[in-house]
Structure 1
Amino acid sequence: MQASRPLPEARRCPANPILKPTDIRPTHPELEVCCVMNAGALRRDGVTYLMLRVDERPHPEQGYVSTAISREGRIEILRFRRDTPGLDTHDPRGFTLPDGRMYITVLSHLRLARSKDGVHFAIEDQPAIFPAEPYEAYAAQDARMTEIEGTVYINYSAVSDHGIATALATTTDFVTYRRHGLIFAPDNRNVCLFPRRIAGAYHALHRPMHAVPIGLNSVWLACSSDLTHWGGHRRVMAPRPGAWDDHHIGGGAPPIETPHGWLVVYHGANRSNRYCLGVALLDRDDPARVLARHTQALLQPVMPYERQGFFGNVVFTDGAVVQDGLLRVYYGASDETVCLADFPLEEVLSALLSLSANGDRNYGEN
């Protein structure tokens, strides 16, 4: 039996991080950009488009913890004394008040960047999508972009005190954007749309989040006739005990169609919250069927900018494109910057196909 092949080594862009907070103009004088990350990616007519997650926060004030929220598109600054009894600030991503109310420390919006070479990007001065709905009061973040029949579908996490839901917007020209509201209720995120119908239906990967300690945070598949109402849910992949993704997994980039199946780049974390990227291959006609899932991580946080930052030891992707035979993965590093890593596409597929040929699919439970 032929030995399984390892995944190719990541070719990190020498210019990494390719986008930093200092590259982004704040939306409001009272806010500063602290993070830019987790960009949705799309290659169209020789141009790479990134839909950036931009995190802003109020300028710091001694002795206070603060955040900004959106009230119908208007920014409101909230500040709380750090010495308040019962105030929990152990996680840099959020804080909890003594009465149980939870806030995240940033206000997120989506902003467009474009590039011909996929490395040097021009960033728009104004947001493409800014939190304007009640379900987006805390954030519109982590967009994925998928072109289906000439329309670009942008699904993103809508965050508020109601939880984390998934909203949908569309554009045909990256100038005007139409919102379609929520398509997955809280708590559900990491939605990745397939770029074409399968057996006449639209399909999406998604990751329900468990509020009770029953079950695993896994990747699921759903189908729809209109991209708004979803059903037919089936679990596709689960965390693997003892592996680098043993705590939780979720979608990363939207699936990429190849002659061998749907290539999926996903994220996974261990119990120390170390985030890595993995790859799997799904059946073209039945994407709930996993053909192969590599035991090796495609990308791990090893560089200083991946290990140290706003939330360290994290590589996380929302978008990948195929360009000149390369799988180009755009990823957030340490929840603070945008980076790029390239992989020869055929080598990635060969590594996955070697698992399938050996009968070693390594998908864990499904």
Structure 2
Amino acid sequence: MDFPADRLVFGPDDVDLSRSPLAGHLDAETFVLGAFNPGLARLASGNLLMLVRVAEALREPVSNGHVHSIRWDEGRYVRDAWPLELCDTADPRKFLVHGGSWQVMALTSLSWLLPVELAPDGLEVVAVHYDRAVAPHAAFQCYGVEDARISRLEGRWLMTSCSVSPERHSTTLYSSENGLDWRFEDIVLDHQNKDMLIFEGRIAGQYWAQTRPLGALYFTYPPGSPWRAGPSINLASSPDALHWKPRREPGLRPHADTVATARIGGGTPPILTERGWLTLWHGVEPKEIVGIYRTYWSILDPDDPSHVLESEHRPLLEAKPDLTRPLEDKMYLRDVVFTTGIADAGDYFIVASGEADLACRITHIPKSHFGL
């Protein structure tokens, strides 16, 4: 689907690793595996801010019969070594460590968040704020901080992120009074709950959020059900944005009649429109190791977000090879667009996505596309 503006605005070559939080810590060369999956917010100045996930990886992860990973350790960054014969390295983003009764893995990169300021239309970089980077600072995020999602409520910005460690794969909350300087609040969701999206507005006095618990086991729906068993987008509410209670009602669920959305997860924080809460989410079609990621949209009831008013089954965004062709030498994934931010721009929305787990994509989508 073609839109008025659709381009990559920031990528691996735009990151200065001499200013990385990891600079000077490791006795090995690193490179930017990807600069992608940006949270998006409108600043008081009118400019936009992307919080870009920078995946910093070892240039030579395999050496001397071992595969290596990067880990934060009490204020410094270190390299860990695993015997190559114990590991499965088929996925370029991670490696599996064999020998246990359940799946254990390590990442080939460590992620930190880089604030990148854009012009009001999102198509030009104004400044890169290395001094405001969000990086690991505790054991529960020793393998990195990933995939920021930013919501603005009542004059402040709230950012959720995934913090990765052997202790837990948790959702952590940050807040900001200006959208640039971020303060860590706390762990808000525990093990393996990803893609937490805080609604940009309260409902009946409560904060609301979409969540996406993960697991290795899902119970089947009955034969003939319109729903497919697997990861779904759930709902939670909170009096203070710190203490969250899952809602009883289901949120968005994958449909049984299409394999294109066999697995789903949250994309952009829901924003309130004249029709209801607009939410963009991703669907994954199984293919090879990673799958095909596309972006879809739904409108949710303004008073009861468990009630889906409309969903479009055609993808809103798909991976666009023309955009990444100049970065062909850096490509390690294909068929992936992962939408993570949205901002109002009058007659259109500015939508931010990660393209191929490699770079940041900005798309202008007319509001008329959503019936607005």
Q: What is the TM-score with the length of structure 2 in the denominator? A: 0.86
Instruction: Find the aligned partners of 1:207 and 1:297 in 2 and give their Cα distance.
Output: 20
Unaligned runs of 5+ in 1: 1-7, 351-366
% identical aligned pairs = 27
Paired AA for residue 236 in structure 1: G
Instruction: Find the aligned partners of 1:51 and 1:345 in 2 and give their Cα distance.
Output: 24
Paired AA for residue 40 in structure 1: G
CA spacing shift, 1:285–1:141, aligned 2, 3 Å: same
Matches within 5 A, 1:279-358: 279-305=297-323, 309-349=331-371
Contact 1:38 1:142 (8 Å CA) reproduced: yes
1:355 aligns to what?
Answer: none
Matches within 5 A, 1:254-269: 254-269=269-284
Paired AA for residue 311 in structure 1: L
2:3 aligns to what?
Answer: 10
Q: 1:190 aligns with which of 166, 186, 195?
A: 195
Q: Map Cα deviations across residues 21-58 of structure 1 (whole Å, 9 max, x no partner).
A: 11112221443222100000011331101111111012
Instruction: Find the aligned partners of 2:72 and 2:4 in 1 and give their Cα distance.
Output: 39
Paired AA for residue 106 in structure 1: S
Q: Map Cα deviations across residues 158-179 of structure 1 (whole Å, 9 max, x no partner).
A: 1111342100011112453221
Determine whether 1:228 maps to 2:242: yes
- Say which SS state the counterpart of residue 9 (structure 2) adopts: coil
1:212 aligns to what?
Answer: 217
Deviation at 1:244, TM superposition (A): 5.4
1:112 aligns to what?
Answer: 115
Deviation at 1:109, TM superposition (A): 0.6
Contact 2:49 2:179 (8 Å CA) reproduced: no
Determine whether 1:19 maps to 2:6: no
CA spacing shift, 1:192–1:62, aligned 2, 3 Å: closer
Instruction: Find the aligned partners of 2:334 and 2:169 in 1 and give their Cα distance.
Output: 22
Contact 1:41 1:318 (8 Å CA) reproduced: yes
Deviation at 1:340, TM superposition (A): 1.2
Contact 2:61 2:69 (8 Å CA) reproduced: no
Paired AA for residue 268 in structure 1: G
Contact 1:329 1:341 (8 Å CA) reproduced: yes
Instruction: Find the aligned partners of 2:348 and 2:57 in 1 and give their Cα distance.
Output: 36
CA spacing shift, 1:282–1:174, aligned 2, 3 Å: closer
Instruction: Find the aligned partners of 1:346 and 1:42 in 2 and give their Cα distance.
Output: 22
Q: Map Cα deviations across residues 253-285 of structure 1 (whole Å, 9 max, x no partner).
A: 111111110111111101121000000000111
1:88 aligns to what?
Answer: 88
Larger deviation: 225-234 or 287-296? Answer: 225-234
Determine whether 1:133 maps to 2:151: no
Instruction: Find the aligned partners of 1:34 and 1:237 in 2 and give their Cα distance.
Output: 32
Q: Map Cα deviations across residues 214-238 of structure 1 (whole Å, 9 max, x no partner).
A: 3420011111101111114232111
Instruction: Find the aligned partners of 1:93 and 1:127 in 2 and give their Cα distance.
Output: 26
Q: 1:74 aligns with which of 64, 73, 76?
A: 76
- Say which SS state the counterpart of residue 347 (structure 1) adopts: helix
Instruction: Find the aligned partners of 1:178 and 1:65 in 2 and give their Cα distance.
Output: 34
Q: Map Cα deviations across residues 297-355 of structure 1 (whole Å, 9 max, x no partner).
A: 101113244697232210001101111311111110110111111110122225xxxxx
Instruction: Find the aligned partners of 1:305 and 1:243 in 2 and give their Cα distance.
Output: 27
Q: 2:151 aligns with which of 134, 141, 146?
A: 146
Alignment root-mean-square deviation, CA: 2.0
Paired AA for residue 261 in structure 1: G
The number of aligned residues is: 339
Larger deviation: 295-304 or 200-209? Answer: 295-304
Instruction: Find the aligned partners of 1:305 and 1:90 in 2 and give their Cα distance.
Output: 26
- Say which SS state the counterpart of residue 283 (structure 2) adopts: strand
Q: Map Cα deviations across residues 171-203 of structure 1 (whole Å, 9 max, x no partner).
A: 112453221121111110101101111011110
- Say which SS state the counterpart of residue 313 (structure 1) adopts: coil
Contact 1:109 1:127 (8 Å CA) reproduced: no
Q: What is the TM-score with the length of structure 1 in the denominator? A: 0.87
CA spacing shift, 1:305–1:90, aligned 2, 3 Å: farther
1:38 aligns to what?
Answer: 37
CA spacing shift, 1:314–1:33, aligned 2, 3 Å: same
